[in-house]
């Protein structure tokens, strides 16, 4: 990991706003590596602390538009932009609202993608892990990923690019297939093995039992999928 994007998610807001983690940093690195950011109209769909949107702004995006359903996240992202003197529009609401502001040259997203056990496990996850709305994504982890793939052509300009980070637990092949089915070129451009965090630690037995994680796993593979519009 080569990123130096730190300092977001102070102790007092960590419970309400997802503190940037390995997935955030993997996506930032992949985004910068594309070389597409300078001059681009960028949308960050699930912005949280705003760390990815800020990285895009700092790397020379011509316009950065961010979305989050969480009021605390919106506040934190706006404050980060203000403090840095960076121009960024942060909207409170679903990522799906981005269609109203499209087209974009580059769309980035670190959506909720962790499969959710039917019986629930909130009490076994420490509050310091952040809010469950940041990771809970239905039984198969694809509650946001599927509609996001479906909306990609509506969000992107001709030749535009989408970068999405997700876990192996939420079926990377489904993401690739859904994007390719719409005529986009899609591939995994970055991946990393990371130790289980508090959420995966709590869910690992259920995930393995359900076949969503290989039995005996001690680490989780996270990937960045890149999709290019024709
Ligand atoms: C995994 S966090 C990512 C935060 C930040 N982008 C990062 O990488 O550190 C996911 C974020 O998505 C937000 N979120 C969840 N569902 C959403 C939705 N339907 N529309 C927009 N944001 C959503 C959560 O509030 C949370 O801030």
**15 inside domain:** no
Average pLDDT over residues 42-53: 97
77 is a domain residue = yes
Choosing from 15, 30, 65, 69 the residue with most ligand 1 atoms within 8 A of its CB, the one to mutate for a pocket test is: 69
pLDDT at residue 117 in the model: 84
> How many independent structural domains does the chain possess?
1
Q: Given a cut of 80, is residue 109 above it in pLDDT?
A: yes
CB 207 within 8 A of CB 46: no
Q: Tokens 């102790």 correspond to what residue?
A: 11
CA of 44 to the centre of ligand 1 (A): 9
CB contact at 8 A, 112 and 144: yes
> Is residue 9 in a domain?
no
Q: Is residue 170 part of a domain?
A: yes
Asked if residue 70 lies in contact with residue 15, where contact means CB atoms within 8 angstroms, the answer is no
Nearest to 18 by CA among 58, 72, 64, 54: 72
User: Rounded to whole angstroms, what are the CA distances from 1 to 10, 65, 199, 212?
Assistant: 21, 26, 22, 26
14 part of a folded domain? no
- The C-alpha atoms of residue 209 and residue 85 are separated, in whole angstroms, by 48
Residue 50's contacts (CB-CB under 8 Å, 6 or more residues apart) are: 8, 44, 66, 73, 76, 77, 78, 80, 81, 88, 90
In-domain check, residue 13: no
Among protein residues, the one with the nearest Cα to ligand 1's atom 26 is 134
4 within some domain = no
pLDDT at 7: 42
Mind listing the pLDDT tens digit for each residue in 122-153? 667 877 777 889 999 999 999 999 999 999 99
Ligand 1 centroid, distance to 177 Cα (angstroms): 23
Cβ atoms within 10 A of the Cβ of 176, count?
Answer: 18
Q: pLDDT by residue (tens digit) across 148-205? A: 999 999 999 999 999 999 999 999 999 999 999 999 999 999 999 999 988 898 899 9
| CATH code, domain carrying 217 | 3.40.50.150
E strands present in 7-92 = 41-44, 63-68, 89-92
Distance 206 CA to ligand 1 centre (A): 24
Determine the Cα–Cα distance for residues 108 and 224; give it in Å rounded to an integer: 10
Per residue in 21-46, pLDDT (tens digit) is 999 999 999 999 999 999 999 999 99
Residue 1 lies in a domain: no
Domain encompassing residue 65: 22-228
């Amino acid at each position: 990991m080569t990123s130096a994007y730190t300092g977001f998610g102070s102790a007092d807001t960590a419970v309400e706003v997802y503190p940037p983690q390995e997935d955030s940093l993997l996506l930032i690195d992949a985004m910068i590596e594309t070389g597409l950011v300078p001059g681009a109209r960028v949308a960050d769909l699930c912005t949280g602390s705003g760390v990815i949107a800020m990285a895009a702004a700092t790397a020379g995006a011509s316009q950065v538009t961010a979305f989050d359903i969480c009021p605390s996240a919106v506040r934190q992202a706006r404050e980060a932009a203000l403090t840095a003197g960076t121009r960024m529009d942060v909207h409170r609401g679903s990522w799906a609202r981005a269609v109203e502001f499209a087209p974009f040259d580059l769309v980035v997203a670190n959506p909720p993608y962790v499969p959710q056990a039917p019986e629930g496990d909130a009490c076994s996850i420490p509050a310091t892990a952040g809010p469950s709305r940041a990771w809970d994504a239905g039984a198969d982890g694809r509650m946001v990923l599927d509609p996001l793939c479906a909306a990609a052509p509506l969000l992107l300009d001709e030749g535009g690019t989408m970068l999405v980070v997700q876990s192996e637990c939420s079926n990377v092949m489904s993401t690739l297939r859904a994007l390719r089915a719409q005529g986009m070129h899609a591939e995994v451009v970055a991946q990393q093995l990371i130790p289980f965090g508090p959420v995966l630690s709590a869910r690992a037995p259920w995930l393995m039992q359900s076949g969503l994680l290989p039995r005996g796993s001690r680490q989780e593979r996270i990937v960045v999928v890149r999709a290019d519009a024709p």
